[in-house]
Amino acid sequence: MSRGGTHPSDRLGRLAFSSILSMRDAAHEAPPAGGCMALLIVKLDQVIGNAQAWREAFEAQLPDLPVRIWPDAGDLKEIEYLAFMHPDFDQLPTFPNLKAMFSRAAGVEDIVTHPRLPNVPLGKVEPPGGDPMMTEYVVMHVLRLHRDMPNYQAAQAKRQWLRVPIARPEQRRVGFLGFGMMAKAPALVLQSLGFKVSAWVRSPRPAAEVPLFHGRDQLAAFLGQTDIAVCLLPLTAETEGIFCAQAFAMMPPGAMLVNVGRGRHVVDGDLIAALDSGQLAHAALDALWPEPLPPESPLWLHPKVTIMPHVARRPTVAQLVTEMVANIRSLEAGGKLLQEVDIALGY
């Protein structure tokens, strides 16, 4: 063999070493077990934005995540995330590698009670600090009732120059039922304007920025010192029908209600009776049951009721994707969902 030649065993050795390097590099580039991670949007594109808007938003924020639009799910083994509003799990297949689900629904009561709910974490797609739209909406309705705007508008329709006593903010007590992320921001805004603000929650909590009442045992005391009640509760078996004749009787005469929770928090017949008797002065309802409210409902034309077609907040596709991406990154880093639903509690 010539001086510059190579022994066959040397060539075999180099080939073997090269093969090992190639296998190592391939292992680093291989997709995770279970295939290519993907997110499936289930009919959410039909109520907010469109399929193209969702794909573009994810492409801008998490370009490595394939986004699929139902019913084009592709390989079911690759679906690790679901995003929806009101899913029909009976119509969905099983996703063997599902990691988490994201709900845009205002409430999740119909989701957590579904018999085919996948056994993975469920997260609400909401900003951790609340939504400015919800804040300004709640503050708007409280100020509108505080300044007696419904009566002034009724007087204008009759061409009456109405002069009535006017209350100052420090003379008005605003009580929030629920003190989560959507309630805290408007509560603090109203407090900054001089209103006396308190809140009622399900169970004891550490001291907060406003006085807190908790549990059924303290509900009467809370309602008894509330001139304007703001409902931002989740709908559960314990909170359904919480605004009934008994609750209205606990409130000061002439109290008012703002419901931006769920329609079934309010017993409509009891509300109308309380308004007709003067126990309540006005009710602003953004959540009703059923929705849309039937034309024959007496709430439509009641002079002491403001009906709003469930428009408290409307997030954009980009905002929703931002929240989903933050949750996905948290999970992929070994953390938890940022706004995880407690299935047992129902919210």
Query: Catalytic amino acids?
Result: 262, 310
Residue 174 to residue 223: CA distance in whole angstroms: 10
CA dihedral 186, 187, 191, 197 (to 10 degrees): 150
Query: Tokens 């073997």 correspond to what residue?
Result: 16
Say how many Å lie between the first and final Cα of the chain, rounded.
80
Residue 39 to residue 205: CA distance in whole angstroms: 36
Residue 60 to residue 276: CA distance in whole angstroms: 54
Residue 347 to residue 343: CA distance in whole angstroms: 7
**Burial bucket for residue 298 (CB in 10 Å: 0-12, 13-18, 19+):** exposed
Q: Where are the alpha helices (DSSP H) in the chain?
A: 8-29, 51-61, 109-112, 132-146, 149-157, 181-192, 219-224, 245-250, 268-277, 317-332
The residues near 247 (Cβ < 8 Å, ≥ 6 apart) are: 219, 223
| Under 8 Å between Cβ of 240 and 287 | no
